[in-house]
Amino acid sequence: MTEHARRWLILGVVAGCYFPVAADATILNLAIPSLNNALGTSSQDILWIANIYPLLMVGLVLVTGPLGDRIGHQRLLLWGLVVFAAASAGCAFASTPAALIAGRGALAVGASAIIPATLSIIRQVFVNARERAFAIGVWSAVASGGAALGPPLGGILLEYFWWGSVFLINIPIVLVASLGVGRLLGNHPAAQPPKWEALSPALGVAGIVCVVYAIQAAGHAGSSLASIVVPATIGVGVLTVFTRRQLRMADPMLDLRLFQGATFRFGVLLAVVPVMIIVGFELLLAQELQFAVGLTPLSAAMVLLPMPMAAFVAGPSGGCLVARFGMRLVVPVALGTAALGYFGLYVGSSRVEWLVPCLLLIGTGHGAVMTTASDAIMTSAPADRAGNAASVESVSYELGAGLGIAVLGSLMAWLYTARFPLPLAGQVPESASHSIGEAMRVAADATGGTAELIVTAARTAYTDGFRGVALVAGVVLVALALIASRAPRPQC
């Protein structure tokens, strides 16, 4: 095998390792109604089941990125794949919401090793700037496309199997990927690896979890002021300590000095905000299609499929376009394309014939932007700090995912409760006005015309709230597009 062919085969193996990690961020979206029936999950349970995965990774990648530089990225990748497969089996057979949350936390441990290892391997294997830009574009396409493909894949599995199958599918993928990693990759620790310690990631996780808890509490009906203010204050304080500690350390876990580069800062901004929008939006869209529109998991999966397909195509294409035309042109156009899709959902309806073109626009825009973010972060960092740069990128993506679920999920909860008819809310259990999933459980226990009234009210309230969230998403991306028009020149 020639060295050229070996490089591209390694890219395929690395993409195979990363795909289940990316898909697991969203694969549960279409399983929410099934979880609602099987485990009796509340709206808060759903947010934590979805959110614990990215939130834990925010802190864990601060350890695993530099750890890969110390022990070698191949060894770190293999370790992460083993943990990920074992955690997948644990999640599949969870019998309570708490057990599933714990299993998702274990998944985060494995995923936190896989993400920075795959990025660092790409950075080391592809030394040619053009090849590296394309390879990172493929990685980004797997990131955005995998996250977008998670719900359709979950819907197909749910049509024929129970909800645990969305986790068991990871195991054969991981086994095949592990064989490829063992045969194709050598292990090459850095000559002067950075130091690492446990306090920094503990501070990072604690601070972010407290802030996200406060955001989710703010959107949940009945939350007290103390349950919002106290964790928010603690979280901001802990994150302040974390930041100051990183700036003082000679060899920090999260190398904030990388942010001195304008291209690097811009890449992080492009990683956090669009991911925040797409991940939070997909969680809500999956419920809109099943709870409000009434589609089966398989039908909902088919409706969602255009979005990941567009993202897969736009990812590598976006990298080539940026190399030719520059970020100042490509990024605003890509963000504007996605924003147009969100605005279409706001002014239109949830009919399939209207949804599909809107989702194509959203997938195309997000796929191209993800490539630009990855390329800007990884190519603007020195090669010997690839692990640190990968950690920052991983933190950016996972922070965006966690914030997206918390912020858009809380916004949706507030809009749903505000639009749930007050006269009806006084005749049925209060939980029906907390989330559409809880309303459907209440309706299942009701009799006669009351059940139909509850279902109709819940669907109307959710659809109105969903359109409001789509409007907010579009406005945020337009604002980001204006910022992107002043983007720095790309560095190779």
Q: What is the CATH number of the domain that holds 267?
A: 1.20.1250.20
| Contacts with 329 (C-beta within 8 Å, 6 or more apart), sequence order | none
Q: Is it the case that residue 340 has pLDDT exceeding 80?
A: yes
| Contacts with 449 (C-beta within 8 Å, 6 or more apart), sequence order | none
- For the chain, the C-alpha Rg in angstroms (whole number) is 22
Greater model confidence, 194 or 430: 430
Least confident of 246-260, 272-286, 342-356: 246-260
Average pLDDT of span 76-97: 90
The residue count of the chain comes to 492
Q: What pLDDT is stored for residue 84 in this prediction?
A: 93
Give me the DSSP letters along 40-73: ---HHHHHHHHHHHHHHHHHHHHHHHHHHHHH-H
Least confident of 84-93, 454-463, 464-473: 454-463
Q: What pLDDT is stored for residue 149 in this prediction?
A: 72
Q: Is it the case that residue 476 has pLDDT exceeding 90?
A: yes
Q: What pLDDT is stored for residue 344 in this prediction?
A: 93
Other C-beta atoms within 10 Å of 424: how many?
A: 18
Structure tokens at 296: 């089966």
The amino acid sitting at 363 is G
d(Cα 174, Cα 237) in Å, to the nearest integer? Answer: 39
d(Cα 424, Cα 459) in Å, to the nearest integer? Answer: 13
Average pLDDT of span 373-384: 69
Tell me whether residue 227 is in a domain: no
Q: What pLDDT is stored for residue 373 in this prediction?
A: 79
Tell me whether residue 435 is in a domain: no
Q: What pLDDT is stored for residue 350 in this prediction?
A: 67
Tell me whether residue 21 is in a domain: yes
Instruction: Report the candidate in 313, 322, 333, 311 with the shortest Cα–Cα distance to residue 379.
Output: 322
Q: Is it the case that residue 455 has pLDDT exceeding 70?
A: yes
d(Cα 291, Cα 432) in Å, to the nearest integer? Answer: 13
Other C-beta atoms within 10 Å of 259: how many?
A: 12
pLDDT in tens, 108-123: 889 888 887 887 788 7
Q: What pLDDT is stored for residue 492 in this prediction?
A: 42
Q: What pLDDT is stored for residue 345 in this prediction?
A: 92
Tell me whether residue 222 is in a domain: no
- Total domains present in the chain: 1
Question: Mean pLDDT across the chain, nearest whole number?
Answer: 80
Percent above pLDDT 70 for the chain: 86
Tell me whether residue 362 is in a domain: yes
Tell me whether residue 205 is in a domain: no
Domain assignment of residue 74, given as a range: 3-196+253-422+459-484
Tell me whether residue 237 is in a domain: no
Taking every pair of Cα atoms in the chain, the longest distance, rounded to a whole number of angstroms, is 73
Tell me whether residue 191 is in a domain: yes
pLDDT category at 148 given cuts 50, 70, 90 is low
Q: What is the pTM of this model?
A: 0.74
Instruction: Report the candidate in 125, 116, 2 with the shortest Cα–Cα distance to residue 67.
Output: 116
